[in-house]
């Protein structure tokens, strides 16, 4: 019996296409059929990956189906042990120590400055979880670990795993949050080092969804300017500007965020086509008729309904006629409908760590509508639970 990382349903073809692109070393356009069929995008994303107990034998399957397995134990003790094993492996450099060649536990311990016997137990745990494979004497990385956890990989998310040690401490305050309703406010209590890990981790996680979003966002014809609200590393703007050569972007975010995001944006070599601007998205003047696109990715869940409503009003004012206000968010689940594990856990996480939580596409569309914009139908990304809610500013034509 084990704790699963994923359960794939009819999204298998999309995932296979994406993995093939990873093996080629780059992130290419997603399957065009998937992109051109909104109903297929929605149905595929509704059956997303989840964590859970999976049987590894016929006997275990029968026990699970009969209700004889203490599922809460698997989904707590084994789950947090698995999380710590992977996070510690990343923290101590175990995956990078195996990047070039297979090695024994003693050799990995020497490279990482760790205890040989304890390192052997860690490697055994990583083998059981599918991150390394061994023959009893030495170990080597699996494709899973080589893709996501080796620094040389363009898809490495190690910095996000390191930031999760901070998130681990925040999650320990869950009971206090439920008792009092007071969130931890993650952005208000980060050290300079944690800000760096946070920015690098967010950039790493943006690689695939930014590429997909760049294909799905309705960019107006002849669009020239984009304002990226709270975009920090700016990779969504980078992806859009690369897809639309005439587009230029300004990324607005807090000074402490941009301090660590600046090197990440510089590494994209976009020059003055994507630039940073320090400011406060809730209070700064966004201008009037200044942009063809106003983009807001993973920001709304940090703000209250009133703050988001006011921000939508200012975004609408900043748009030129015909421009679009695009919000990319993990959409809130419908408590009366089929509740996805990802959506429900994300709602709790953002409630704990910020002042609000997730919002439904209907709520986002209503902010846009009240700002005088015309909302489009939502689009769901293959990146589990995230979606795009866009709205256009009407073009007022004068009568001849």
- Distances 318 to 74, 101, 232, 294, 304 between C-alpha atoms, Å: 50, 54, 20, 8, 21
Q: Render pLDDT for 177-203 as a digit per residue (tens, 0 to 9).
A: 999 999 887 777 788 888 888 899 899
Residue 13 is predicted with a pLDDT of 39
Percent of the chain with pLDDT over 90: 64
**Which runs of E-coded beta strand occur in 221-336?**
225-229, 248-253, 274-278, 291-297, 319-330
Residue 186 is predicted with a pLDDT of 76
Say if residue 391's pLDDT is above 90: yes
**Mean pLDDT in residue range 205-217:** 91
Give pTM, 2 decimals: 0.80
Interior CA angle at 54 toward 65 and 330, to 5°? 110
SS3 83: helix
Residue 110 is predicted with a pLDDT of 98
Percent of the chain with pLDDT over 70: 85
Say if residue 283's pLDDT is above 50: yes
Q: Render pLDDT for 22-55 as a digit per residue (tens, 0 to 9).
A: 444 444 444 444 444 444 444 444 445 778 888 8
Say if residue 343's pLDDT is above 70: yes
Residue 316 is predicted with a pLDDT of 97
Domains, in order of start, for the chain: 2-157 (1.10.10.10), 208-392 (3.40.50.150)
- For 110, phi then psi, to 5°, come to -65, -40
Higher per-residue pLDDT: 400 or 259: 259
**Mean pLDDT in residue range 70-95:** 95
**Mean pLDDT in residue range 377-382:** 89
Higher per-residue pLDDT: 86 or 155: 86
For 318, the token pair is: 């900043």
Residue 124 is predicted with a pLDDT of 97
- For 19, phi then psi, to 5°, come to -65, -35
């Amino acid at each position: 019996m084990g704790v699963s990382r994923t359960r794939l349903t009819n999204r298998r073809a999309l995932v296979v296409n994406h993995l093939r692109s990873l093996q080629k070393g780059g992130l290419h356009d997603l399957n065009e059929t998937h992109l051109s069929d909104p109903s297929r995008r929605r149905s595929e994303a509704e059956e997303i990956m989840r964590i859970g107990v999976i049987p590894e034998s016929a006997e275990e399957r029968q026990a699970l189906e009969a209700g004889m397995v203490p599922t809460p134990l698997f989904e707590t003790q084994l789950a947090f042990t698995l999380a710590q094993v992977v996070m510690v492996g990343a923290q101590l450099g175990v995956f990078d120590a195996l990047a070039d060649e297979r090695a024994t536990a003693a050799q990995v311990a020497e490279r990482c400055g760790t205890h040989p016997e304890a390192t052997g137990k860690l490697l055994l745990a990583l083998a059981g979880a599918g991150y390394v494979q061994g023959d009893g004497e030495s170990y080597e990385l699996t494709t899973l670990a080589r893709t996501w956890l080796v620094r040389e990989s363009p898809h490495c998310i190690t910095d996000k795993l390191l930031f999760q040690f901070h998130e681990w401490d925040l999650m320990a305050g869950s009971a206090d949050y439920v008792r009092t309703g007071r969130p931890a406010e993650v952005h208000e209590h980060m050290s300079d080092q944690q800000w760096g890990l946070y920015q690098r981790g967010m950039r790493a996680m943006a690689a695939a969804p930014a590429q997909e979003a760049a294909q799905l966002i309705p960019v107006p014809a002849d669009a020239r300017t984009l304002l990226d609200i709270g975009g920090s590393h700016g990779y969504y703007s980078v992806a859009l500007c690369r897809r639309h050569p005439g587009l230029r972007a300004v990324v607005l975010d807090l000074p402490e965020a941009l301090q660590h995001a600046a090197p990440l944006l510089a590494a994209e070599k976009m020059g003055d086509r994507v630039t940073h601007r320090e400011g406060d998205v809730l209070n700064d003047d966004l201008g009037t008729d200044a942009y063809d696109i106003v983009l807001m990715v993973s920001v709304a869940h940090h703000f209250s309904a009133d703050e988001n409503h006011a921000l939508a009003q200012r975004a609408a004012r900043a748009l030129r006629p015909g421009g679009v206000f695009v919000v990319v968010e993990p959409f809130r689940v419908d408590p009366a409908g089929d509740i996805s594990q990802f959506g429900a856990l994300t709602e709790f996480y953002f409630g704990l760590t910020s002042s609000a939580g997730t919002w439904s596409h209907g709520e986002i569309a209503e902010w846009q509508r009240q700002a005088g914009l015309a909302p489009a139908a939502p689009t769901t990304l293959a990146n589990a639970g995230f979606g795009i809610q866009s709205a256009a500013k009407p073009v007022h034509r004068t009568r001849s």
